Amino acid sequence: MNLEQLRSFVEVAELGNFTRAAEHLHLAQPSLSRQISSLESDLGTDLFQRARGGSTLTTAGESLLPLARRMLTDADSVRRELAELAGLQRGRVRLGATPTLCISLVAEVLSAFHAEHPAIELHLSEQGSRRLLDQLAGGELDLALITTSDSASAERFTVTPLLVEELVVISAASGPAITTGDSITLAELARLPQIVFSQTYDLRSTTDAAFHAANLTPEVVLEGAEMDAVLRFVERGLGVAIVPAMVLIDRPGLRSVRLEGPTISRTISLARPAGLAPTSAVAVLQRTIRGTAAAFAADHLTMSVPQGGHPAAA
């Protein structure tokens, strides 16, 4: 059993078709078929059920797939680490982050990191927390900045809380203030026209839960928007919105007020695969993320560093 056989196996398993897998791997189909047949012979079992319409995994194939993915990921990590040590390249880091973090914390992190380490190649995936954890488990990412949730299994991931951030209420700076004080109650907010996020946002379920717990039904004027659109709509006076405090950085067209107790908050955490040692480049980015997060907490009253600060399951 070798890495080329495993790579071919994973490609066929994901595409369900030998012809397309061969094209994607830039192999002749007979060569691909021989690799799979040789792997099946080595293991003493069939891995695919072959049919005209495509190929599906057998029970043995389903068992092998997660192991093969992990072996390929480990091999790639070894190659990258050795290349760094040999001085052939400085490395590569694949970072994932939620949309709200991409327009705030991540921008600061990558700016600082690139200034200090311009030769390290950076790849960014912008997804919701659940999708980022899937990518992390599949070996597609090295690190992920997520909003902590129960889907982060302690067996599969090491999750380190970085920041606890308040959610605040925003309105257009050009319009009248929504309250005369520096805070607003959830009941007062429920009576104002609101712009709410898509159901795919963790923020949406958090705010929906807060209103439900208070037996309140908010007045929604627009539903299903993405973060940048929500901020733009609020700036133009279409309504108010509940957002993370950090997205207000460099947004002079918005004003914000805090929610009057109980406040709504979210925990921002850094996740990485459990039991997999980070490469040198990944370790450097981890330190940059922690330092930038601590600076954010020090600069903003609506953010704080969690107690402990050690790896924890979400």
Domain boundaries, the chain: 3-84, 92-314
Alpha-carbon separation of residue 191 from 5, 105, 164, 187, 217 (angstroms): 61, 32, 27, 7, 9
**Given a cut of 80, is residue 150 above it in pLDDT?**
no
Position 310 scores a pLDDT of 40
**pLDDT for 112-128, tens place per residue?**
888 877 778 899 999 88
CA angle at residue 138 from 22 to 47, to 5 degrees? 50
- Higher-confidence position of 103 and 66: 66
The CATH number assigned to the domain with range 92-314 reads: 3.40.190.290
The CATH fold of domain 3-84: Arc Repressor Mutant, subunit A (1.10.10)
> Which residues, in sequence order, are CB contacts of 55 under 8 Å at separation 6+?
12, 16, 17, 18, 48, 49
Contact 162, 270 (CB under 8 A): yes
Contact by Cβ (8 Å): 37, 75: no
Structure tokens belonging to residue 150: 């129960």
Mean pLDDT of 289-305: 82
Q: What is the pLDDT of residue 151?
A: 46
Residue from 268, 239, 233 nearest 132 by CA: 268
Could you say which DSSP state residue 120 is in?
A: S
Fold agreement between 3-84 and 92-314: no
Mean pLDDT of the chain: 86
| Residues 13-41, mean pLDDT to the nearest whole number | 91
CA atoms of 81 and 55, how far apart (whole Å): 35
Q: What is the pLDDT of residue 289?
A: 94
